[in-house]
Structure 1
Amino acid sequence: MKQRKQNYITLSADGEVVPQGSAVEDAAPAQESADVAYRLSRMVEEAAGSPVAPNALDAADMSEYTAVAPGEAQTAARAERAARVAEPAAKPVALVMARSKSAKRLLQAVADAGFCACAAYTQDRRNEGYLKAAQRAVCLGEKYSDALFCNGHAVLEAAAECEAAVVLLSDEALPLAEVDSFLARAAARGVRVFRAMNPDAPALGWILCSTDKPAADDGTWRTCQHCGLSFDEASLASGHYVCPSCGGYFRMSSAERIDDTLDADSFVEWNRRVPETDPLNFPGYDDKLAAQREKTGLEEAVRTGEGRIAGLRVAVGIMESRFFMGSMGSVVGEKLSRMVERATDERLPVVVFTASGGARMQEGLVSLMQMAKVSCALSRHAQAGLPYLSVLTDPTTGGVTASFAMQGDVILAEPRALIGFAGQRVIKDTIKQELPEGFQTAEFALEHGLIDAIVERADMRATLAHLLAIHLATVDRGSCGPGGSAILVDYRKVRDNLEHGTDTYNTVTYGMLEPEGGLPFGDAAARGSRRAQRLLSGLAGRFERKASGPAMPKRLEKALSRGGFDAEEGASLEVNGVVMGGDANVAADPGNRAWQSVQLARNVHRPTARAYIDAFVDGFIELHGDRAFGDDGAVVAGVGWIGGRAVTVIAQEKGADLKERIRRNFGCPQPEGYRKSLRLMRQAEKFGRPVVCLVDTQGAFCGMEAEERGQGNAIADNLLAMAGLRVPVVSVLLGEGGSGGALALALADRVAMQEHAVYSVLSPEGFASILWKDRTRAPEAAAVMKMSAAEACQMGIVDAVLPEGPAPAHENPEAAAEQVRAYVVDVLAELCEQSIEEVLEARYERFAKF
């Protein structure tokens, strides 16, 4: 928002208006300070300026002009004077956007200055006292909210209704003084907007608010279905079609999605027209199709083609919920299949935005067959080693959910999107079951391990760009397409392209237009600053799961109440009443290095796996869920870059504080945690991407629920997969390496341990309890088992011991992380130079020797 100084009135020290060009002003040029403002009286004079008579040329063009005889003119003049006596001349109207305690005083000051003071109100607060001070009132809506009072559409409509010449912003409406789209529209309608220098003292003056941005006033407004407020198209486009007031998501058309996601002017549509079929000869179906085309301007419920995301060529399909609710008929299936087949031939990645109510009933079984048809095409695409990213938008249900929507290598979803197989109405009608609040939402799907991440719309383009770059970094460079092979297979180049390179149509068109904002979300400038900061810092940690994990078992609560937790025994980590793993005295037995390492590995201040990921994995994107049951917080998995190399990272995470430790089950994975890791390993194998595992667990969780879901099976599947995984695997033990729960991520080509990490078949407490029936002999058990890193290396169990720096890792985490990073970078460089057959043979021999 810019303030045009030439429109200001300069006030002298005593509050009097100083005429432009006066000696006072010439002597001391006005500055943009409290001394430069409009007084209410001056605003009235300008607003009530007498109309100018038309000049001769204008009058000559008045074909309807009729001359009035002198006598008639005198009679009319006398009647006009009489009318003015009976009813004073209309005053200019000032719409006062205020409702605080000072509103009454402000309305009175506005009226005293010569305005017709018009107050804004809502129906639920129509009896508030300040309205009595107004000469006129206008209703903004049914229910009061701060967002309503600073909604541009509501204020402009109110100004039009009361024929306001001036809008005075105060209190909740003040954010509109910074909204370019609102100011441009007001100026286009001849309405001047002012903000109070001091709302509590309106006599001090008012600042004229204006903008240099053009008015995008094409009369198009869209109403948010969540909060009921309306916004102009330009403002919504600049904000990715997210409601500036409540944060609700507008459903986007394919054209809007293209403009918001793909590089400007890069989209080329494929197979725009595909002949329609009517397999059932369904009555009126052809007429309904024709009506849908006329209403939406679309050919069908999906658009396909190619485009670029931050310079990267990609095949893209975007479903249209406006066309038959995005239902999947034969043409939808045909267009998607053709797109995937062409992408396979041209070695392009595929991105599909889903939005559908399911199969198209009017086409019967033929519609059902589209699920199989598209799945076959995607299977060939996958066999070619090409990535498919699925983005679920609201709504994604029915046959689309049961096929290509859930077949992506990575499945992303927009917040609060409706996602499910059987719709709520179908469930109620079929089995009479009432569904709970929040059922079949993106958040529900994430918590139950069905999708990889929820991505806010503002971050979607950057997320897709980074994911595509990571997937393509290890495949044939020809898949990037002409001009793309040298651009996007590097994290920093992707980031730089997103920040300074190719841009979307919406960014180019509306990038300088601050979207209309509401109080709950702060001012637009702050939002823009935060967006830039996010881009500069990459995507690390963006998809941290927000939903809380499953309820903590009662046995775990009891163990915690006793002071500790042992994964194998489900008992307290205590020896003679002393809690182990905290700040215990590690020097109690200087000769027992193994027990010292146990104490240091359990130190609650020791950096967890996530700290190491944040330290040296660039652009890490966490991917959630086992795609079957749940998302285990004890296993953090995702993709990123280490030393410029695209990798898959799988880590066991204990949590940095007590609350997080409880949520992550103290780093003791459930079966779905191991199944998540297996899924990510298979994905890495598909794309030839090395796997880096960070191990830190007391052991796999052994509760009843874990056994019911096949804990042993899950670990066994991991070991079998890792034994034959056709990509290099590197594992580093950061803290505790307990039993098979640790080995499930440590069957690797290279295994290293940090200096104070431990590795054992069982916890020392469990070992002492089983063999000696005395848990207090845990220190002795640690020495017998040779748990320390140095002893494990001497036995050939691990390949290297990594120094933690001049002190244990919790005292110098940066130095410890650098040692781990350097080891991983060096080992990956060595392994990636070898053929995969050599790697597999060495892996086999490494474990066969034991």
Structure 2
Amino acid sequence: MTPRSAREWLDLVLDPGWTLLFDDVVSGDPLEFPGYAEQLRAAREKTGCSESVLVAEGVLAGQRMIAIAFEFGFLGGSMGVAAGERICRAFEHAAATGVPVVAMTATGGARMQEGMLALSQMPATLIAREKLVAERAPFFCYLRNPTTGGVFASFASSADLLWAEPHATIGFAGPRVAESMTGEPLPEASHTAETALAHGLIDEIVPVADLRKRVSEFLGPVSYGIAGAGHSIEEAQPSTAADAWTEVTLARDAKRPTGADYLPGGTILGRGGPDASILVCVADDWLEHGRPIFIAQNRFSGTGRTHPGGYRRVRRAIGFAARFRRPIVTLIDTPGADPSAGSEADGIAREISATFEALLTAPVPTVAVCVGEGGSGGALALAACDVFLISEHGTFSVIAPEGAASILRRDDLETVANELRLTAHELKALGLADHVVAEPEGGAHADPHRAISKVHGAIMAALQELHLRPEQADVEEVLPPPDIPSARRFERWRVYR
């Protein structure tokens, strides 16, 4: 059953025995707005709450945390001066004690009866939120139905994980206000959680019944150290039988698992841009490997080419990993970046450049795996890591053989493919790839489950190598090693000899 009151929402996420904080911070009538004092009195009597926001300190699955719950029955959950002050103090208290915050919003936005003083809570709450960022404590926000206006456009959208209730109304302006301002009817699906997810504005739609479990899963332990030391990379041996064009066709095989198929289960990071060719998740079950952030390309989504919004999603994931000191794993499989006029207008070259920069400078261990086709700079932007692995029948090229043949006005694709030196073993011989990961006999599509297992084992071995140093052999690291980014991350690309 969906909670109705703010207290019921606090009961949903916190263990019994939580304590209200800042309940003495209450609204006055700073503008002496006609009828407002009576509205406040009636709202308090109706809801039993002294304000539209309740802040509580409690425990969830053994983890102390601060919870913020909006009471929509109190003047539509509007954020006035007192409500904003409670939120500010909640962030500051959490930062001072180093605990996470979860907010459950239901609001029409800033409180009109308090004018600009209410609107000023937008920057005020964000300033306080930054104190939590500095402490690297997580902030979850669950957008209930409805969440609009100044709350959605301020601290709520700054959450590390932004989830929404199914079918919730979400938007900057509420639907009725938007229609009155524009004079036009809204599309049927506008201002919904589902549309927000499709456009990369939220991370995930989470059923109410799963909220407590999902917060608890993300807050699980993180460790670095020797627990995964038994993993090794199964190195593929070079073969003289295969030619480059055969490898290209194998890398593109429609039955071959793509990057998204290698994703482990975990918390989804869906924000950043409307591009289904990029999927991101936190590997919640990879505890001994620091619960890495996985960034995967999906060549079977549309054309398989990454759009500008996809690269924005990648960079948000990199920033998330840096904030919470999580390793990054990229899974590459794409014919390249999208070259359409729309992507050009949206700055595809700028987005690729910014993605290179973000990954090259990420202050955490990074591992890239080309599991299929690596198409030019659009794929290479995800390969600029400490360790670069490539599957046995993967390929990586400056341009597809078809494109090269067209430029050269040739029709001998097989010869052109050979001349591009794009196979896995050739990339290793050129000093670009560190290891070639063996595939099952016949290729990854012959036994996808085994292929995925081999790649996961190679990733674990690579992460272990990055985390462990001889003097650390008997200890478990809490933080990534000090020599990250590694010299290899930078030197790999300086190929002049």
Provide TM-score, normalisation by structure 2: 0.91
AA matched with 2:167? R
The reply to whether residue 378 of structure 1 matches residue 129 of structure 2 is: yes
1:635 aligns to what? 278
1:791 and 1:642 mapped to 2: Cα distance? 32
1:473 aligns with one of 222, 232, 237: 222
1:9-24 equivalence runs, <5 A: none
The reply to whether residue 685 of structure 1 matches residue 346 of structure 2 is: no
1:114 aligns to what? none
Which region of structure 1 is more displaced relative to structure 2, 373-382 or 809-818? 809-818
2:400 and 2:495 mapped to 1: Cα distance? 25
TM-aligned CA distance change 1:838 to 1:327, over 3 Å: closer
AA matched with 1:328? M
AA matched with 2:274? D
2:449 and 2:303 mapped to 1: Cα distance? 23
1:349 and 1:848 mapped to 2: Cα distance? 42
- C-alpha contact (below 8 Å) 2:251/2:373 kept by paired residues: yes
1:652 aligns to what? 297
The reply to whether residue 612 of structure 1 matches residue 363 of structure 2 is: no
AA matched with 1:607? P
2:87 and 2:335 mapped to 1: Cα distance? 47
1:839 aligns to what? 485
Give the secondary structure class of the aligned counterpart of 1:400.
Answer: helix
1:396 aligns to what? 147
1:246 aligns to what? none
Larger relative contact order, structure 1 or 2 (CA cutoff 8 Å, min sep 6): 2
- C-alpha contact (below 8 Å) 1:418/1:440 kept by paired residues: yes
2:492 and 2:192 mapped to 1: Cα distance? 46
1:412 and 1:807 mapped to 2: Cα distance? 42
TM-aligned CA distance change 1:474 to 1:370, over 3 Å: farther
**CA offset at residue 426 of structure 1?**
2.1
2:485 and 2:201 mapped to 1: Cα distance? 33
**CA offset at residue 592 of structure 1?**
5.3
The reply to whether residue 349 of structure 1 matches residue 100 of structure 2 is: yes
Gaps in structure 1 of 5+ consecutive residues: 1-239, 242-250, 476-489, 491-589, 655-660
2:345 and 2:454 mapped to 1: Cα distance? 40
Deviation digits for residues 675-716 of structure 1 (CA, Å, limit 9, x no counterpart): 101111111011110000000111111111111111111111
2:270 aligns to what? 624
1:130 aligns to what? none
TM-aligned CA distance change 1:842 to 1:797, over 3 Å: closer
1:836 and 1:437 mapped to 2: Cα distance? 52
2:399 aligns to what? 762
1:269 aligns to what? 20
- C-alpha contact (below 8 Å) 1:685/1:725 kept by paired residues: yes
- C-alpha contact (below 8 Å) 1:632/1:669 kept by paired residues: yes
2:8 aligns with one of 244, 252, 256: 256
1:421-440 equivalence runs, <5 A: 421-440=172-191
Give the secondary structure class of the aligned counterpart of 1:392.
Answer: strand
The reply to whether residue 789 of structure 1 matches residue 433 of structure 2 is: no
- C-alpha contact (below 8 Å) 1:724/1:840 kept by paired residues: no
Provide TM-score, normalisation by structure 1: 0.54
1:595 and 1:841 mapped to 2: Cα distance? 34
1:826 and 1:778 mapped to 2: Cα distance? 37
AA matched with 1:701? D
- C-alpha contact (below 8 Å) 2:431/2:492 kept by paired residues: no
- C-alpha contact (below 8 Å) 1:272/1:299 kept by paired residues: yes
The reply to whether residue 718 of structure 1 matches residue 367 of structure 2 is: no
- C-alpha contact (below 8 Å) 2:148/2:173 kept by paired residues: yes
- C-alpha contact (below 8 Å) 1:643/1:825 kept by paired residues: no
**CA offset at residue 474 of structure 1?**
6.4
- C-alpha contact (below 8 Å) 1:625/1:672 kept by paired residues: no
AA matched with 2:202? I
- C-alpha contact (below 8 Å) 1:726/1:840 kept by paired residues: no
1:606 and 1:349 mapped to 2: Cα distance? 41
1:443 and 1:812 mapped to 2: Cα distance? 35
1:707 aligns with one of 341, 344, 369: 344
Deviation digits for residues 72-93 of structure 1 (CA, Å, limit 9, x no counterpart): xxxxxxxxxxxxxxxxxxxxxx
1:310 aligns to what? 61
Deviation digits for residues 513-567 of structure 1 (CA, Å, limit 9, x no counterpart): xxxxxxxxxxxxxxxxxxxxxxxxxxxxxxxxxxxxxxxxxxxxxxxxxxxxxxx
TM-aligned CA distance change 1:838 to 1:676, over 3 Å: closer
TM-aligned CA distance change 1:420 to 1:359, over 3 Å: same
Give the secondary structure class of the aligned counterpart of 1:293.
Answer: helix
1:411 aligns to what? 162
- C-alpha contact (below 8 Å) 2:293/2:321 kept by paired residues: yes
2:446 aligns with one of 801, 811, 814: 811
- C-alpha contact (below 8 Å) 2:255/2:445 kept by paired residues: yes
2:251 and 2:57 mapped to 1: Cα distance? 51
**CA offset at residue 743 of structure 1?**
0.4
Gaps in structure 2 of 5+ consecutive residues: 228-239, 470-480
The reply to whether residue 696 of structure 1 matches residue 333 of structure 2 is: yes
**CA offset at residue 632 of structure 1?**
0.6
2:223 and 2:438 mapped to 1: Cα distance? 31
The reply to whether residue 734 of structure 1 matches residue 380 of structure 2 is: no
CA RMSD in angstroms comes to 1.9
- C-alpha contact (below 8 Å) 1:738/1:762 kept by paired residues: yes
Give the secondary structure class of the aligned counterpart of 2:444.
Answer: coil
Larger radius of gyration: 1
- C-alpha contact (below 8 Å) 2:360/2:485 kept by paired residues: no
**CA offset at residue 838 of structure 1?**
4.8
Count of residues in correspondence between the two structures:
470
**CA offset at residue 430 of structure 1?**
2.4
- C-alpha contact (below 8 Å) 1:313/1:348 kept by paired residues: yes
- C-alpha contact (below 8 Å) 1:625/1:632 kept by paired residues: no
2:401 and 2:99 mapped to 1: Cα distance? 53
- C-alpha contact (below 8 Å) 2:222/2:288 kept by paired residues: no
AA matched with 1:272? D
**CA offset at residue 849 of structure 1?**
4.1
Deviation digits for residues 212-248 of structure 1 (CA, Å, limit 9, x no counterpart): xxxxxxxxxxxxxxxxxxxxxxxxxxxx32xxxxxxx
1:697 and 1:327 mapped to 2: Cα distance? 46
Give the secondary structure class of the aligned counterpart of 1:666.
Answer: coil
1:209 aligns to what? none
2:61 and 2:303 mapped to 1: Cα distance? 40
2:252 and 2:137 mapped to 1: Cα distance? 42
2:196 aligns to what? 445
AA matched with 1:612? Y
AA matched with 1:721? A
2:474 aligns to what? none
- C-alpha contact (below 8 Å) 1:635/1:667 kept by paired residues: no
2:391 and 2:287 mapped to 1: Cα distance? 20
1:578 aligns to what? none
**CA offset at residue 631 of structure 1?**
2.0
2:138 and 2:187 mapped to 1: Cα distance? 35
**CA offset at residue 624 of structure 1?**
1.3
